[in-house]
Amino acid sequence: MIEALRRAGFATSLEAGRGIIRDQSDIGGPALPWHDQVLFAELMLSWEMRSYQVAHEQTGRPVFFDRGVPDTLGYLRLSGLPVPRHVSSAAERFRYNPRVFVAPPWPEIFAQDEERRQTLDEAERTYHALVGVYTELGYELVPLPLVPVEERLRFILTEAGLA
């Protein structure tokens, strides 16, 4: 979906998890979710805060994020790891649009790859953890319909007032 938004001419932010996994794999680094979840979470937080700051420098132009600062909080909770105060503080401080689009799990299009090793069950648990975090933080969640990409794109642009 983020790629469709990019092709439509909107500014977007890459997903931290995928970028970190790709970079760490390329350099033989330890910050991989299957090696060091805490270090992976710290890099995700740093990546997302930087993405947020870069987006704010693009004044007057909407930016669509694949993930956000609150996702790190959700990841730690889902992994059963302690949530350091600085992670909670970042999730409270780095605020996005009050309306957040969420993509419910969709078994028919679910796929694993080198960077996304999650099973469908893990993806569903991740979704529910993130819905909980964003709801706790006061965001209004807008579920994406389970329709082809172009229809989802139209839905997003209409809901965001950009159609």
Q: What is the pTM of this model?
A: 0.90
Domain range for 82: 2-159
Whether 64 and 13 have beta carbons less than 8 Å apart is answered as yes
Question: How many separate domains does the chain show?
Answer: 1
Q: Identity (one letter) of the amino acid at 14?
A: L
CATH assignment at residue 36: 3.40.50
Dump pLDDT digits (tens) for 14-62: 889 989 999 999 999 999 999 999 999 999 999 999 999 999 887 678 9
pLDDT at 117 > cutoff 70: no
* Mean pLDDT, the chain, integer: 92
In terms of phi and psi (left: phi > 0; alpha: psi -120 to 50; beta: otherwise), the region of 111 is beta
